[in-house]
Amino acid sequence: MDFLSRLFGIQNKPAQPDIPFGRYSDAYKSDAQQQAFDRSLEAFEQGEHLAAYRDFLTFLKDEDAKEPNISWQENETEIQFELWQGSQRIKGFANAEKVKAESKVARADDLNVGFMRRLMEANFNLKFSRFALDHDNNLSIVFDTRTVDGSPLKILHALRELAIHADKQDDLLISEFSVLRPAEERDHGHISEAEKEVKYAYIHRSIEAVFAEIDKGKPDPNTYPGTYAYLLLALAFRLDYLVKPEGFMMDLLEKVYAAYFTKNNLTPQVKVQQMRREFQILLDRPKEELFKEMYRTRSTFGTNPAVPHGTFASFIEGELANMEWPLQQGHDALAFAVPQYIAGFTLFHQAPPKPDRAFLHLFFEITEAAFFRELGFHIPYTDAQGRLQKSEIWKGIKQIVDQNRALYTRLRPELNQLDFASMTLFAKSYLLMLKGLDMTKD
């Protein structure tokens, strides 16, 4: 038994609310799923198409999902399947002649030129699927192919494209064009009004706190725009992970990121102002509209690629140095934004090894403890005044180590690196601790 086990023993957290965080990732496939995909490829090469598609659907099934993300039925000549991506249901079939999948995005009361032109333009950027209208004016995104050309690898890319675009466009189109309404009423994923209220209040106070920091003008945002960019980007990624919005808000947070990193002729000062305007739109959005975008989802595909721990460690090393100047100048909130940006960016854009993901979630449980408590979570890592609780944080880290020790036998965080003098210094030292982890699998 190691030192931490002797000191603390094995302790489990109390039962916590069933509230998910962050965007879905399909990067954590099990060995059994990978083997199913290999069998699928082999069966297709041998002309056993239905067997190939059966194994392919097994590969897509999320083994950890509390509600199934995919289901199928089959007979001797055909497989009919149904999968979920966010709020969208994708239905399809495969037989000896054809493979087809379709998702109804919206229903049109009138064929408005605006949304039809939007979707025609979108079709130019789609590689496998296409937007189309059926005889009942249902706006759908469709993919089909001859079975002889429908290798599992092609079907994987096609279904991913179809599912992600269907999920992204439904809420956006309906919110923008009044002639559109949902093609199917959503009958799942509802969350309590209390949870929505907590998240709504958190969105507003988080944005207002960042605006207040900018309005202090110390240091001058026009002289140090990059420092304030960290503040706004950290806010966007943090809201995306903790609130887990859908529709308009999710798209707006992506626009915040794009506003700063898109290569154009705008100066950093102008980009910071553009990012602020996007957040102001969110502040001005009616509560009832935000509430509509808060619901549970089931997904089959993710957009964030798997990355090794070394990539994550290099990102920490490259970015963390940027908190030194505001830290030395006493601009604590600006310094703290850098480690929050690192954690949020990683969870938004990448799928690091499972222990890294768990440690980053713990990072937010510690640094945003009040929000988690408002949602009903038991969070012992800070006291009522926000002071860090060293022994409880050590326990939280140890629990993650214990849960992953079977695969990551060299996972031994250097706890003596942690600095509990302030939340900002702790955040810096915590990421440095993660940077030094050995994620080698024996």
Residues 324, 434: Cα–Cα separation, whole Å: 18
Residues 101, 82: Cα–Cα separation, whole Å: 9
Dump pLDDT digits (tens) for 338-347: 999 999 999 9
Residues 336, 339, 341, 343, CA torsion sign? negative
Cα–chain-centroid distance for residue 188? 20
Average pLDDT, whole number, for the chain? Answer: 91
Q: Is the pLDDT of residue 64 over 90?
A: no
Q: What is the mean pLDDT of residues 129-149?
A: 91
Q: Is the pLDDT of residue 2 over 60?
A: no
CB-based contacts of 283, cutoff 8 Å, min separation 6: 204, 207, 208
Please report, for the chain, the start and end positions of each structural domain, with discontinuous segments joined by +. Answer: 31-181, 193-435
Least confident range from 133-137, 212-216, 271-275: namely: 133-137
Residues 158, 140: Cα–Cα separation, whole Å: 15
Q: Is the pLDDT of residue 188 over 80?
A: no
User: Greater confidence, 181 or 298?
Assistant: 298
Residues 310, 316: Cα–Cα separation, whole Å: 10
Dump pLDDT digits (tens) for 32-53: 999 999 999 999 999 999 999 9
Q: Is the pLDDT of residue 3 over 50?
A: no
Q: What is the pLDDT of residue 13?
A: 56
pTM over 0.85: yes
Share of the chain above pLDDT 90, in %: 71
Looking from the CA of 408 toward its CB, the CA atoms found within 13 Å total: 17
- Give the type of residue at 138: N
Residue 147 DSSP code: G
Instruction: Provide CATH code, domain 31-181.
Output: 3.30.1460.10
Residues 131, 165: Cα–Cα separation, whole Å: 10
